[in-house]
Structure 1
Amino acid sequence: MKISEIKERKIIHRPTLSFDGYGKRIYHAYEYYLSYNPGFKGNETQRLFAKWIDMAIFTLIFFFICNKILIVSILLSVPCVIIAGTVTEFYFGTTLGKKIFRMKVIDDDGNYPGFSKSLARNLLCLANFYPVFSEYTTKTVAMGWRRGTQMNFSMHLNNKICKTYIVKESKIPEIKELLEADSNKKSLPE
Protein backbone atom coordinates (compact mmCIF):
# COMPACT_ATOMS: atom_id res chain seq x y z
CA MET A 1 0.00 0.00 0.00
CA LYS A 2 1.15 3.49 -0.82
CA ILE A 3 0.26 6.83 0.77
CA SER A 4 -1.23 8.06 -2.50
CA GLU A 5 -3.67 5.10 -2.45
CA ILE A 6 -5.02 5.70 1.07
CA LYS A 7 -8.60 6.95 1.16
CA GLU A 8 -10.07 8.79 4.13
CA ARG A 9 -13.77 8.51 4.94
CA LYS A 10 -15.43 11.91 5.45
CA ILE A 11 -19.06 12.53 6.34
CA ILE A 12 -20.40 15.97 5.52
CA HIS A 13 -23.73 17.18 6.89
CA ARG A 14 -25.50 19.62 4.61
CA PRO A 15 -28.58 21.56 5.71
CA THR A 16 -31.86 21.21 3.85
CA LEU A 17 -34.76 23.64 3.62
CA SER A 18 -36.89 21.35 5.84
CA PHE A 19 -37.42 21.45 9.61
CA ASP A 20 -38.58 18.76 12.00
CA GLY A 21 -41.53 19.01 14.42
CA TYR A 22 -39.38 20.81 17.01
CA GLY A 23 -38.24 23.49 14.59
CA LYS A 24 -34.73 22.11 14.15
CA ARG A 25 -33.20 22.03 10.71
CA ILE A 26 -32.91 18.66 8.98
CA TYR A 27 -29.49 17.74 7.63
CA HIS A 28 -28.53 15.22 4.97
CA ALA A 29 -25.37 13.23 5.52
CA TYR A 30 -23.10 12.67 2.54
CA GLU A 31 -20.25 10.20 2.71
CA TYR A 32 -17.09 10.74 0.67
CA TYR A 33 -13.84 8.86 0.34
CA LEU A 34 -11.12 11.45 -0.20
CA SER A 35 -7.41 10.99 -0.78
CA TYR A 36 -5.41 11.10 2.43
CA ASN A 37 -3.26 14.20 2.81
CA PRO A 38 -0.29 13.60 5.16
CA GLY A 39 0.91 17.20 4.84
CA PHE A 40 0.09 20.07 7.16
CA LYS A 41 -1.11 23.63 6.81
CA GLY A 42 1.60 26.26 6.55
CA ASN A 43 4.32 23.85 5.46
CA GLU A 44 5.44 26.04 2.55
CA THR A 45 6.55 28.85 4.86
CA GLN A 46 8.29 26.47 7.23
CA ARG A 47 10.04 24.73 4.34
CA LEU A 48 11.24 28.07 2.97
CA PHE A 49 12.66 29.06 6.37
CA ALA A 50 14.24 25.60 6.75
CA LYS A 51 15.99 26.03 3.40
CA TRP A 52 17.21 29.49 4.43
CA ILE A 53 18.60 28.06 7.69
CA ASP A 54 20.47 25.38 5.74
CA MET A 55 21.86 28.00 3.36
CA ALA A 56 22.81 30.35 6.20
CA ILE A 57 24.98 27.69 7.83
CA PHE A 58 27.03 27.08 4.69
CA THR A 59 27.15 30.80 3.88
CA LEU A 60 28.61 31.52 7.31
CA ILE A 61 31.16 28.72 6.90
CA PHE A 62 32.34 30.09 3.55
CA PHE A 63 32.25 33.69 4.78
CA PHE A 64 34.07 33.34 8.11
CA ILE A 65 36.20 30.21 7.75
CA CYS A 66 37.09 30.35 4.04
CA ASN A 67 37.18 34.19 3.93
CA LYS A 68 35.05 34.49 0.79
CA ILE A 69 33.01 37.59 0.04
CA LEU A 70 29.32 37.39 0.95
CA ILE A 71 27.86 36.94 -2.55
CA VAL A 72 30.38 34.18 -3.35
CA SER A 73 29.59 32.53 -0.02
CA ILE A 74 25.87 32.54 -0.86
CA LEU A 75 26.47 31.13 -4.34
CA LEU A 76 28.77 28.39 -2.99
CA SER A 77 26.22 27.46 -0.33
CA VAL A 78 23.58 26.47 -2.94
CA PRO A 79 25.35 23.33 -4.23
CA CYS A 80 26.42 22.47 -0.67
CA VAL A 81 22.80 22.61 0.51
CA ILE A 82 21.74 20.37 -2.39
CA ILE A 83 24.45 17.79 -1.62
CA ALA A 84 24.05 17.92 2.17
CA GLY A 85 20.25 17.83 1.84
CA THR A 86 20.45 14.76 -0.37
CA VAL A 87 22.67 12.86 2.05
CA THR A 88 20.82 13.83 5.24
CA GLU A 89 17.36 13.17 3.76
CA PHE A 90 18.55 9.75 2.56
CA TYR A 91 19.92 8.73 5.99
CA PHE A 92 17.78 10.70 8.47
CA GLY A 93 14.75 11.92 6.46
CA THR A 94 15.48 15.52 7.39
CA THR A 95 17.98 18.37 7.18
CA LEU A 96 19.06 20.68 10.00
CA GLY A 97 16.55 23.34 8.98
CA LYS A 98 13.74 20.79 8.73
CA LYS A 99 14.79 19.29 12.08
CA ILE A 100 14.29 22.68 13.75
CA PHE A 101 10.70 22.74 12.45
CA ARG A 102 10.26 18.99 13.24
CA MET A 103 9.61 18.00 9.63
CA LYS A 104 10.55 14.77 7.85
CA VAL A 105 10.64 13.76 4.19
CA ILE A 106 9.02 10.43 3.31
CA ASP A 107 8.33 8.72 0.01
CA ASP A 108 5.07 7.15 -1.16
CA ASP A 109 5.83 3.96 0.82
CA GLY A 110 6.28 5.85 4.09
CA ASN A 111 10.08 5.46 4.20
CA TYR A 112 12.88 7.98 3.84
CA PRO A 113 13.49 8.70 0.15
CA GLY A 114 16.19 6.77 -1.70
CA PHE A 115 19.40 8.53 -2.69
CA SER A 116 18.39 9.18 -6.32
CA LYS A 117 14.92 10.39 -5.32
CA SER A 118 16.41 12.64 -2.64
CA LEU A 119 18.91 14.05 -5.16
CA ALA A 120 16.10 14.76 -7.63
CA ARG A 121 14.06 16.47 -4.88
CA ASN A 122 16.95 18.69 -3.91
CA LEU A 123 17.82 19.62 -7.50
CA LEU A 124 14.17 20.47 -8.17
CA CYS A 125 14.06 22.70 -5.10
CA LEU A 126 15.70 25.37 -7.25
CA ALA A 127 12.51 25.50 -9.33
CA ASN A 128 10.44 25.88 -6.16
CA PHE A 129 11.56 29.43 -5.69
CA TYR A 130 9.52 30.52 -8.70
CA PRO A 131 7.13 33.08 -7.20
CA VAL A 132 3.37 32.88 -7.71
CA PHE A 133 1.48 36.18 -7.64
CA SER A 134 -2.13 36.38 -6.54
CA GLU A 135 -4.58 39.16 -5.85
CA TYR A 136 -6.31 39.65 -2.53
CA THR A 137 -9.04 41.92 -1.19
CA THR A 138 -9.34 43.18 2.39
CA LYS A 139 -11.82 45.42 4.13
CA THR A 140 -10.40 48.23 6.24
CA VAL A 141 -12.32 50.63 8.45
CA ALA A 142 -10.82 53.81 7.03
CA MET A 143 -10.37 52.91 3.36
CA GLY A 144 -13.23 50.48 2.64
CA TRP A 145 -12.31 47.64 0.32
CA ARG A 146 -8.66 47.48 -0.60
CA ARG A 147 -7.03 45.32 -3.27
CA GLY A 148 -3.45 44.23 -3.45
CA THR A 149 -1.07 41.67 -4.86
CA GLN A 150 0.80 39.15 -2.78
CA MET A 151 3.68 36.89 -3.67
CA ASN A 152 3.82 33.23 -2.60
CA PHE A 153 6.42 30.61 -3.29
CA SER A 154 5.22 27.29 -4.65
CA MET A 155 7.14 24.81 -2.49
CA HIS A 156 5.47 21.60 -3.64
CA LEU A 157 6.70 21.03 -7.20
CA ASN A 158 9.61 18.78 -6.20
CA ASN A 159 7.37 16.67 -3.96
CA LYS A 160 4.74 16.28 -6.67
CA ILE A 161 7.28 15.12 -9.26
CA CYS A 162 9.20 12.79 -6.92
CA LYS A 163 6.10 11.51 -5.05
CA THR A 164 7.45 12.51 -1.65
CA TYR A 165 5.73 14.19 1.27
CA ILE A 166 6.83 16.67 3.94
CA VAL A 167 5.22 15.62 7.21
CA LYS A 168 5.53 16.50 10.87
CA GLU A 169 7.58 14.01 12.90
CA SER A 170 4.58 13.42 15.18
CA LYS A 171 2.42 12.28 12.25
CA ILE A 172 4.74 9.45 11.08
CA PRO A 173 3.29 6.80 13.48
CA GLU A 174 -0.22 7.63 12.21
CA ILE A 175 0.91 7.26 8.60
CA LYS A 176 2.64 3.94 9.33
CA GLU A 177 -0.52 2.71 11.09
CA LEU A 178 -2.70 3.68 8.11
CA LEU A 179 -0.33 1.96 5.69
CA GLU A 180 -0.31 -1.17 7.84
CA ALA A 181 -4.09 -1.19 8.29
CA ASP A 182 -4.74 -0.78 4.57
CA SER A 183 -2.21 -3.48 3.64
CA ASN A 184 -3.78 -5.86 6.20
CA LYS A 185 -7.24 -5.06 4.86
CA LYS A 186 -6.16 -5.90 1.31
CA SER A 187 -4.44 -9.16 2.32
CA LEU A 188 -7.57 -10.61 3.97
CA PRO A 189 -9.50 -13.05 1.78
CA GLU A 190 -13.11 -12.13 1.01
Structure 2
Amino acid sequence: MKISEIRERKVIHRPTFDFDRYGKRIYHAYEYYLPYNPGFKGNETQRLFAKWIDMALFSALFYSLFHENILISIGLSVPSSIISGAITESYFGTTLGKKIFRMKVIDDGGNYPVFLHSLKRNLLCLVNLFPIFTEYSSKTAAMGRRTGIQMNFRMYLNNKICTTYIVKESKMKEIKSISDADSVQHTGLIDSEN
Protein backbone atom coordinates (compact mmCIF):
# COMPACT_ATOMS: atom_id res chain seq x y z
CA MET A 1 0.00 0.00 0.00
CA LYS A 2 1.19 3.53 -0.74
CA ILE A 3 2.23 5.77 2.13
CA SER A 4 -0.14 8.50 0.92
CA GLU A 5 -3.07 6.07 1.33
CA ILE A 6 -2.24 5.10 4.94
CA ARG A 7 -4.47 6.64 7.59
CA GLU A 8 -3.73 6.96 11.30
CA ARG A 9 -6.49 6.76 13.90
CA LYS A 10 -6.41 9.77 16.23
CA VAL A 11 -8.74 10.27 19.19
CA ILE A 12 -9.07 13.83 20.42
CA HIS A 13 -10.73 14.58 23.75
CA ARG A 14 -12.42 17.98 23.84
CA PRO A 15 -13.69 19.49 27.10
CA THR A 16 -17.34 20.37 27.57
CA PHE A 17 -18.93 22.84 29.98
CA ASP A 18 -20.37 19.93 32.03
CA PHE A 19 -18.94 18.25 35.13
CA ASP A 20 -19.70 14.85 36.62
CA ARG A 21 -20.91 14.37 40.20
CA TYR A 22 -17.32 14.27 41.48
CA GLY A 23 -16.51 17.67 39.98
CA LYS A 24 -14.40 16.36 37.11
CA ARG A 25 -14.84 17.89 33.66
CA ILE A 26 -16.60 15.75 31.06
CA TYR A 27 -14.79 15.31 27.75
CA HIS A 28 -16.18 14.24 24.38
CA ALA A 29 -14.01 11.91 22.34
CA TYR A 30 -13.77 12.55 18.61
CA GLU A 31 -12.19 9.98 16.35
CA TYR A 32 -10.37 11.02 13.17
CA TYR A 33 -8.48 9.13 10.50
CA LEU A 34 -5.68 11.44 9.40
CA PRO A 35 -3.06 10.89 6.69
CA TYR A 36 0.08 9.18 7.98
CA ASN A 37 3.07 11.50 8.05
CA PRO A 38 6.38 9.59 8.05
CA GLY A 39 8.42 12.81 8.19
CA PHE A 40 9.78 14.47 11.28
CA LYS A 41 9.62 17.94 12.75
CA GLY A 42 12.47 20.26 11.91
CA ASN A 43 13.60 18.40 8.80
CA GLU A 44 13.69 21.58 6.71
CA THR A 45 16.76 22.93 8.52
CA GLN A 46 18.54 19.59 8.46
CA ARG A 47 17.81 19.17 4.75
CA LEU A 48 19.15 22.64 4.01
CA PHE A 49 22.38 21.91 5.90
CA ALA A 50 22.67 18.52 4.17
CA LYS A 51 22.41 20.21 0.76
CA TRP A 52 25.05 22.77 1.78
CA ILE A 53 27.36 19.96 2.91
CA ASP A 54 26.98 18.20 -0.45
CA MET A 55 27.65 21.44 -2.33
CA ALA A 56 30.63 22.32 -0.10
CA LEU A 57 32.28 18.98 -0.87
CA PHE A 58 31.99 19.52 -4.61
CA SER A 59 33.13 23.14 -4.28
CA ALA A 60 36.23 22.01 -2.39
CA LEU A 61 36.85 19.31 -5.00
CA PHE A 62 36.68 21.73 -7.94
CA TYR A 63 38.72 24.34 -6.09
CA SER A 64 41.53 22.04 -4.92
CA LEU A 65 41.80 19.47 -7.72
CA PHE A 66 40.95 21.53 -10.78
CA HIS A 67 42.22 24.90 -9.42
CA GLU A 68 39.03 26.72 -10.37
CA ASN A 69 37.99 30.11 -9.04
CA ILE A 70 35.91 29.83 -5.84
CA LEU A 71 32.80 31.31 -7.51
CA ILE A 72 33.11 28.91 -10.46
CA SER A 73 33.63 26.04 -8.01
CA ILE A 74 30.43 26.94 -6.17
CA GLY A 75 28.56 27.28 -9.48
CA LEU A 76 29.77 23.86 -10.66
CA SER A 77 28.87 22.28 -7.31
CA VAL A 78 25.14 22.88 -7.90
CA PRO A 79 24.67 20.60 -10.94
CA SER A 80 27.20 18.14 -9.51
CA SER A 81 25.28 17.77 -6.26
CA ILE A 82 22.00 17.43 -8.18
CA ILE A 83 23.32 14.60 -10.37
CA SER A 84 25.24 12.81 -7.62
CA GLY A 85 22.24 13.21 -5.30
CA ALA A 86 19.98 11.53 -7.85
CA ILE A 87 22.41 8.63 -8.21
CA THR A 88 23.06 8.06 -4.51
CA GLU A 89 19.40 8.50 -3.52
CA SER A 90 18.31 5.90 -6.05
CA TYR A 91 20.88 3.34 -4.82
CA PHE A 92 21.32 4.14 -1.12
CA GLY A 93 18.36 6.41 -0.33
CA THR A 94 20.66 9.14 0.92
CA THR A 95 23.48 11.54 0.10
CA LEU A 96 26.55 12.23 2.21
CA GLY A 97 24.94 15.32 3.73
CA LYS A 98 21.73 13.43 4.52
CA LYS A 99 23.76 10.51 5.91
CA ILE A 100 25.33 12.85 8.48
CA PHE A 101 21.82 13.75 9.69
CA ARG A 102 20.65 10.09 9.38
CA MET A 103 17.96 10.87 6.80
CA LYS A 104 16.64 8.73 3.95
CA VAL A 105 14.58 9.55 0.87
CA ILE A 106 11.73 7.19 0.04
CA ASP A 107 8.99 7.24 -2.55
CA ASP A 108 5.29 6.64 -2.00
CA GLY A 109 5.84 2.88 -2.01
CA GLY A 110 8.40 3.04 0.82
CA ASN A 111 11.33 2.27 -1.50
CA TYR A 112 14.25 4.36 -2.67
CA PRO A 113 13.18 6.49 -5.65
CA VAL A 114 14.27 5.40 -9.12
CA PHE A 115 16.93 7.52 -10.84
CA LEU A 116 14.64 9.68 -13.03
CA HIS A 117 12.25 10.30 -10.15
CA SER A 118 15.16 11.26 -7.90
CA LEU A 119 16.65 13.48 -10.62
CA LYS A 120 13.35 15.35 -10.94
CA ARG A 121 13.23 15.72 -7.16
CA ASN A 122 16.79 17.05 -7.03
CA LEU A 123 16.17 19.51 -9.88
CA LEU A 124 13.14 20.85 -8.04
CA CYS A 125 15.27 21.42 -4.94
CA LEU A 126 16.52 24.62 -6.57
CA VAL A 127 13.07 26.13 -5.89
CA ASN A 128 13.53 25.27 -2.21
CA LEU A 129 16.59 27.48 -1.94
CA PHE A 130 14.61 30.68 -2.55
CA PRO A 131 13.57 31.96 0.89
CA ILE A 132 10.22 33.39 1.91
CA PHE A 133 9.98 36.16 4.46
CA THR A 134 7.23 36.21 7.06
CA GLU A 135 6.40 38.58 9.86
CA TYR A 136 6.34 37.27 13.41
CA SER A 137 5.60 38.74 16.80
CA SER A 138 6.71 37.67 20.26
CA LYS A 139 5.88 38.91 23.71
CA THR A 140 8.31 38.91 26.61
CA ALA A 141 8.00 40.38 30.08
CA ALA A 142 11.11 42.51 29.72
CA MET A 143 10.69 43.81 26.17
CA GLY A 144 6.92 43.72 25.64
CA ARG A 145 5.56 42.85 22.20
CA ARG A 146 8.16 42.76 19.44
CA THR A 147 7.66 42.15 15.75
CA GLY A 148 10.23 41.19 13.19
CA ILE A 149 10.88 39.52 9.86
CA GLN A 150 11.73 35.82 9.74
CA MET A 151 13.33 34.01 6.81
CA ASN A 152 12.08 30.49 6.03
CA PHE A 153 12.89 28.00 3.31
CA ARG A 154 10.19 25.95 1.55
CA MET A 155 12.00 22.63 1.82
CA TYR A 156 8.86 20.61 1.11
CA LEU A 157 7.89 21.57 -2.46
CA ASN A 158 10.03 19.01 -4.29
CA ASN A 159 8.79 16.21 -2.02
CA LYS A 160 5.18 17.29 -2.44
CA ILE A 161 5.42 17.43 -6.23
CA CYS A 162 7.33 14.12 -6.53
CA THR A 163 5.44 12.32 -3.71
CA THR A 164 8.61 11.49 -1.83
CA TYR A 165 9.33 11.64 1.88
CA ILE A 166 12.36 12.50 4.00
CA VAL A 167 12.46 10.15 6.98
CA LYS A 168 14.89 9.27 9.72
CA GLU A 169 16.81 6.01 9.25
CA SER A 170 15.42 4.75 12.56
CA LYS A 171 11.84 5.08 11.26
CA MET A 172 12.34 2.93 8.14
CA LYS A 173 11.35 -0.30 9.93
CA GLU A 174 8.16 1.30 11.30
CA ILE A 175 7.18 2.60 7.86
CA LYS A 176 7.70 -0.83 6.29
CA SER A 177 5.66 -2.56 9.00
CA ILE A 178 2.79 -0.04 8.78
CA SER A 179 2.79 -0.23 4.99
CA ASP A 180 2.85 -4.04 5.03
CA ALA A 181 0.14 -4.26 7.73
CA ASP A 182 -2.12 -1.85 5.84
CA SER A 183 -1.61 -3.71 2.57
CA VAL A 184 -2.50 -7.02 4.27
CA GLN A 185 -5.54 -5.42 5.90
CA HIS A 186 -6.56 -3.79 2.61
CA THR A 187 -6.15 -7.11 0.76
CA GLY A 188 -8.21 -8.86 3.47
CA LEU A 189 -11.02 -6.35 3.02
CA ILE A 190 -11.02 -6.89 -0.75
CA ASP A 191 -11.07 -10.68 -0.33
CA SER A 192 -13.95 -10.50 2.17
CA GLU A 193 -16.00 -8.37 -0.23
CA ASN A 194 -15.68 -10.98 -2.99
After TM superposition, the score normalised by the length of structure 1 is 0.98
Q: Which residue of 2 aligns with 1:2?
A: 2
Q: Which residue of 1 aligns with 2:16?
A: 16
* TM superposition shift of 1:54: 0.2
Q: Which residue of 2 aligns with 1:36?
A: 36
Residue deviations 1:130-156, cap 9 Å, x none? Answer: 211111111133431000110100001
- Counterparts of 1:185 and 1:99 in 2: how far apart (Å)? 33
In structure 1, the residue corresponding to 2:21 is in which secondary structure?
coil
- Counterparts of 2:107 and 2:142 in 1: how far apart (Å)? 49
Runs (5+) with no aligned partner, structure 1:
none
Residue deviations 1:26-60, cap 9 Å, x none? Answer: 11100000000000000000000000000010001
Q: Which residue of 2 aligns with 1:111?
A: 111
Amino acid across the alignment from 2:112: Y
Q: CA RMSD of the aligned region, Å?
A: 0.8
Runs of 4+ in 1 over 4 A off after TM superposition: none
Q: Which residue of 2 aligns with 1:73?
A: 73
Runs (5+) with no aligned partner, structure 2:
none
* TM superposition shift of 1:186: 1.4
Bigger drift between 136-145 and 45-54 goes to 136-145
Q: Which residue of 2 aligns with 1:175?
A: 175
In structure 1, the residue corresponding to 2:11 is in which secondary structure?
strand
- Counterparts of 1:54 and 1:142 in 2: how far apart (Å)? 42
In structure 1, the residue corresponding to 2:151 is in which secondary structure?
strand
- Counterparts of 1:104 and 1:143 in 2: how far apart (Å)? 42
- Counterparts of 2:73 and 2:179 in 1: how far apart (Å)? 43
After TM superposition, the score normalised by the length of structure 2 is 0.96
- Counterparts of 1:144 and 1:103 in 2: how far apart (Å)? 39
Alignment of 1:1-190 (within 5 A): 1-188=1-188, 189-190=191-192
Residue deviations 1:103-137, cap 9 Å, x none? Answer: 00000000000111000001111111121111111
- Counterparts of 1:34 and 1:141 in 2: how far apart (Å)? 38
In structure 1, the residue corresponding to 2:67 is in which secondary structure?
coil
Identical residues among aligned pairs (%): 69
* TM superposition shift of 1:181: 0.5
